[in-house]
Amino acid sequence: MKLIKKNTSSLMKKNKILVLREGINSTFQDLGRNNFYHIGLPFSGAMDKRNYLIANKLVGNKHNEAVIEFAYQGPLIKIEDGNINFAISGDIKFNIKKNGKSINGDCYKNYNLSKNDEVDIISTNNSVYGYFAVSGGFDLKKNFGSFSTHVRSNVGANNGNKIQKDEKFFIKDFNDTHANKSLKYMNSKIEYIRILKGTNFDYFFEQSIKEFTSKEFLVTKLSDRMGMRLEGPKIKNLKETNIRSEGLIKGVIQVPADGNPIIMLSDHGTIGGYPKIGVVISADYDRLVQTPPGKKIKFELIELKEAEKLYKLYQMETENLLSQI
């Protein structure tokens, strides 16, 4: 008796989506890549880690599966062949066109779509980033150990490029056993951002430090995955405004010569030569990146022990949310 070996790759590739509109800064992201700072590659990865994890859990994926991250407006997607099960996380307005009828979609809930159905991710609501996950994951290749796209270096899934109109992507495997999963969750709004002292904290005038930790700063339009530029009281430096370049980390706050702070975000450069007044604690990073231009933020200086406690609490809250799905 001759055994017939199934071609699993062809089965996996029968589910396909077509991008009818690319949206804004739509890229594939996962949890990021480690150990490549020495060649100029930052960590990258999803800007809002909690919403990224929730999106994958809602469709039954592993925690590090690639999703589509978008800013302000997401893509318009058509199911060109097969079926998909998807979920969207964040504070997002989107519509689903199914069997010729259009309905308003709910975040933190998954849906099944079939051939010719569409999902239109219209906009974020007073926030920046959202996440589109599909059950089984997108059929992509990792680059430097990650799906995360770093556009400036053309590294990551989709040849390191943003998602474009008319591109087509295969879904690895359709699984509808996760249908009807949902989560009651409201993204917390920002009140203040807690920070630790930066490595050059003592480079700044006492009055400037006082203003930095008590006054409001405006998030400007010059903000993206690389950094967030702020406007507010001018932070004056006791020493040189340019220092010897040294390594940077996500969340570090640099102050250039104009006195307006810049917060380094997930696609930041790996070295920088401006004095560093502080660093955003990990527990507040998700909330920080969801602050849109035109909004104001305030900083609160805390100690390392408190930051560690807050991060443990953030992890516990995230795990609790995931366990509810």
**93-146 pLDDT, tens per residue?**
999 999 889 999 999 999 999 999 999 999 999 999 999 999 999 999 999 999
Tell me the CATH number at 303: 2.40.100.10
Number of domains observed in the structure of the chain: 2
> Residue 86 is part of which domain span?
10-178
Answer yes or no: do 37 and 172 share one domain. Answer: yes
Answer yes or no: do 242 and 317 share one domain. Answer: yes
Q: Is residue 184 part of a domain?
A: no
Answer yes or no: do 17 and 166 share one domain. Answer: yes
Answer yes or no: do 167 and 242 share one domain. Answer: no
Measure the CA angle with vertex 255, ends 251 and 260; round to 5°: 105
pTM to 2 decimal places: 0.93
Residue 284 near residue 269, CB atoms below 8 Å: no
Answer yes or no: do 207 and 173 share one domain. Answer: no
**247-299 pLDDT, tens per residue?**
999 999 999 999 999 999 999 999 999 999 999 999 999 999 999 999 999 99
Question: Which residue is listed with tokens 């070295």?
Answer: 271
Residue 185 near residue 95, CB atoms below 8 Å: no
Answer yes or no: do 260 and 293 share one domain. Answer: yes
Dump the DSSP string for 75-112: -EEEEEESEEEEEEESSEEEEEEETTEEEE--TTBEEE
Question: Which residue is listed with tokens 């495997």?
Answer: 173
Answer yes or no: do 50 and 158 share one domain. Answer: yes
Q: Is residue 54 part of a domain?
A: yes
Answer yes or no: do 16 and 95 share one domain. Answer: yes
Q: List the structure tokens of 174.
A: 């359709």
Q: Is residue 303 part of a domain?
A: yes
Among 74-78, 138-142, 173-177, 207-211, name the one with the lowest average pLDDT.
173-177
DSSP bridge partners of 104: 95
Answer yes or no: do 255 and 314 share one domain. Answer: yes
| End-to-end alpha carbon distance in the chain | 46
Look at residue 280 in the predicted model and tell me its pLDDT: 98
